[in-house]
């Protein structure tokens, strides 16, 4: 196919060509950045929690007044919840992966360190490994005599006696690898405060934190065998088969109400709800971006098709002459396809520069990472496809112009 005659023709419609190029360039810039944003959000949404997500339900309560003995109350509640048919395990926790409400501590590798080494999620509660379904990769789970009442520990911290420390702790493998790269973490000590030391007795494969803003630190978590008692900040967790979740949840609420009719249950939800709530914004963002990108490619495609139709109508006579001079239908189709390819390619080249500029601007204002170069071809391919699809109809119509048109005047 000879390109020079096409270029010569394009020069005669400078303004319209520039508009098309501009439209394609803008589309390309938005598509490249949009796809990148979508992929980022999707990756964020797929962040692993490390727990048996589809088998968990959570119940939170607000005690009407401090119960006389919140530890005894918690024990009674757990015992009652265990009785419910279909319940495989019952635990208590102060937080859950992606639950939003978080409890964290500053981890130090020595008691005299002036600043913390890192910040990690601190899970307090009971029976968490079997209930959450955490995968223990080394060491052991807590034994029943590892558990201590929170009041005893607070008293020990307040009078500085250090009684009860070091406590056992189970940490995530990511945290272990960050604190002691290439070493066995078992038996090692960490500090949350100068007097509060913890000995690592086990390592779980994955356990995400409640506020997993940052992918790099999302898996820094530790579990401490601390009985907190029945409280608004301690929720009951029940593990059951996924099809039994709603039934178990209803039965559990009824059992708790039976134990204390004055009790206020503030939240009951399945873990799946917690996860989808936490990632709702990412979901929204991906949804908006996908719809805009689809609409944008559609409008661009229709625009290209509209202009191409005009050109075909305008050039009927010339097409007829070419056909009369021996050009085949395929030649005519190829002419329009090549013309479209040239325009789109030109738009894409400008669009890539724009895409990069847009990415730099987004980086400056929204703390987004730089657009990887590998995303540029996505925009290019998308627009080439849209362009070729859009021009196909008009091109076929052009090919259908009979050579006899050349002989008619007007």
Partner 1 sequence: MLAYYLDLALRSLKRNPALTALMVVAIGFGVAASMITYSVFRAVSGNPIPDKSAQLFTPQIDSWGPQQSFNGDGEPPQALDYTDAMALMHAHAAKRQTLIYPVQLSVMPSGNRSLPISASGYAVYGDFFPMFEVPFRYGNGWNAKQDDGRAALVVLSEEFNQKLFGGVNSVGREVTLGGHQYRIVGVTRRWNPVPRFYDLFGSSGFEEPADFYLPFTRALDLQIPTNGNNSCRGKISMNGWDSWLRSNCVWVTPWVELDNAAGVARYRNFLEGYSADQQRAGRFNWAPNVRLRDVMRWMTYMHVVPPESRISLMVSLGFFLICLVNTVGLLLAKFMRRAGEIGVRRALGASRREIYMQFLIEAGTVGLAGGLLGLLLTAAGVSGVGLLFRPEIARLAHVDLSLVALTLAVAISATVIAAFYPSWRAAHVQPAWHLRSN
Positions that interact with partner 1 (CB under 8 A): 15-16, 19-20, 22-23, 26-27, 30, 34, 37, 62-65, 115, 154-155, 157-158, 192-196, 232, 257, 261-264, 266, 280-281, 283-285, 287-289, 292, 295-296, 299-300, 302-303, 306-307, 309-311, 313-314, 366, 410
Minimum CB–partner distance for residue 189 and partner 1 (Å): 17
Minimum CB–partner distance for residue 368 and partner 1 (Å): 9
Minimum CB–partner distance for residue 240 and partner 1 (Å): 25
Minimum CB–partner distance for residue 408 and partner 1 (Å): 12
Minimum CB–partner distance for residue 102 and partner 1 (Å): 10
Q: Are 92 and 224 in contact (CB under 8 A)?
A: no
Nearer to partner 1, 60 or 206 (CB): 60
Nearer to partner 1, 74 or 304 (CB): 304
In the numeric block, which tokens belong to residue 146? 């590892």
Closest-CA residue to 58 (of 135, 142, 128) = 128
Minimum CB–partner distance for residue 166 and partner 1 (Å): 15
Nearer to partner 1, 55 or 231 (CB): 231
For residues 207-246, one letter each, b for 16 or more C-beta atoms within 10 angstroms of the residue's C-beta and e for the rest, the string is bbbbbbeeeebbbbbbbbbbbbbbbeebbbbbbbeeebbe
Nearer to partner 1, 168 or 301 (CB): 301
Nearer to partner 1, 52 or 153 (CB): 153
Minimum CB–partner distance for residue 310 and partner 1 (Å): 4
Query: CA separation (Å) from 354 to 9, 23, 314, 361?
Result: 27, 12, 32, 10
Q: Strand, coil or helix: what is 286?
A: helix
d(CA 128, CA 90): 8
Nearer to partner 1, 299 or 373 (CB): 299
**Which residue's structure tokens are 């208590």?**
92
Q: Are 109 and 197 in contact (CB under 8 A)?
A: no
Q: Are 202 and 170 in contact (CB under 8 A)?
A: yes
DSSP state of 240: E
Q: Are 23 and 303 in contact (CB under 8 A)?
A: yes
DSSP state of 108: B
β pairing state of 118-126 and 221-224 = parallel
Nearer to partner 1, 222 or 307 (CB): 307
In the numeric block, which tokens belong to residue 70? 């919140």
Nearer to partner 1, 205 or 405 (CB): 405
Which residues are within 8 A (CB) of 325 and not within 5 positions of it... i.e. 6 or more apart? none
Minimum CB–partner distance for residue 154 and partner 1 (Å): 6
Instruction: Map 111-164 to HEC letters.
Output: CCCCCCCEEEEEEEEECHHHHHCCCEEEECCCCHHHCEEHHHHHHHHHHCCCCC
d(CA 37, CA 32): 9
Nearer to partner 1, 302 or 400 (CB): 302
Minimum CB–partner distance for residue 275 and partner 1 (Å): 14
In the numeric block, which tokens belong to residue 233? 């900040």
């Amino acid at each position: 196919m000879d390109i020079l005659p096409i270029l010569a023709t394009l020069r005669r419609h400078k303004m319209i060509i520039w508009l098309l190029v501009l439209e394609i360039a803008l589309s390309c810039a938005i598509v490249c950045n949009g796809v990148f944003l979508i992929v980022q959000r999707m990756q964020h949404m797929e962040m692993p929690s490390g727990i048996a997500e589809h088998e968990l339900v959570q119940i939170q309560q607000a005690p009407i007044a401090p119960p006389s003995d919140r530890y005894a109350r918690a024990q009674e509640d757990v015992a009652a919840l265990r009785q419910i048919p279909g319940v495989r395990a019952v635990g208590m926790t102060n937080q859950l992966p992606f639950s939003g409400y978080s409890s964290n501590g500053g981890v130090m590798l020595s008691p005299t360190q002036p600043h913390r080494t890192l910040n990690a999620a601190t899970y307090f509660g009971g029976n968490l490994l079997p209930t959450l379904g955490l995968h223990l990769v080394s060491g052991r789970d807590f034994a029943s005599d590892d558990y201590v009442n929170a009041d005893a520990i607070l008293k020990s911290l307040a009078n500085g006696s250090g009684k009860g420390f070091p406590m056992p702790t189970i940490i995530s493998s990511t945290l272990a690898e960050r604190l002691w790269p290439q070493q066995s973490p078992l038996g090692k000590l960490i500090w949350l405060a100068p007097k509060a030391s913890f000995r690592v007795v086990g390592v779980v494969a994955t356990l995400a934190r409640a506020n997993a803003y940052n992918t790099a630190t999302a898996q820094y978590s530790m579990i401490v065998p601390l009985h907190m008692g029945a409280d608004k900040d301690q929720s009951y967790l029940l593990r059951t088969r996924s099809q039994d979740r709603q039934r178990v949840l209803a039965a559990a609420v009824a059992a708790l109400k039976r134990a204390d009719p004055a009790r206020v249950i503030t939240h009951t939800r399945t873990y799946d709800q917690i996860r989808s709530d936490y990632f709702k914004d990412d979901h929204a963002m991906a949804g908006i971006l996908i719809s805009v990108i689809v609409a944008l490619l559609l409008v661009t495609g229709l625009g290209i098709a509209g202009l191409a139709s005009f050109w075909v109508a305008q050039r009927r006579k010339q097409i007829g002459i070419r056909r009369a001079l021996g050009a085949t239908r395929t030649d005519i189709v190829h002419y329009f396809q090549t013309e479209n390819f040239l325009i789109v390619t030109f738009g894409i080249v400008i669009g890539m520069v724009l895409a990069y500029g847009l990415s730099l601007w987004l980086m400056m204002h929204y703390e987004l990472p730089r657009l990887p170069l590998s995303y540029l071809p996505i925009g290019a391919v998308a627009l080439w496809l849209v362009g070729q699809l859009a021009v196909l109809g008009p091109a076929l119509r052009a090919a259908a112009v009979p050579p006899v048109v050349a002989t008619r005047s007007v």
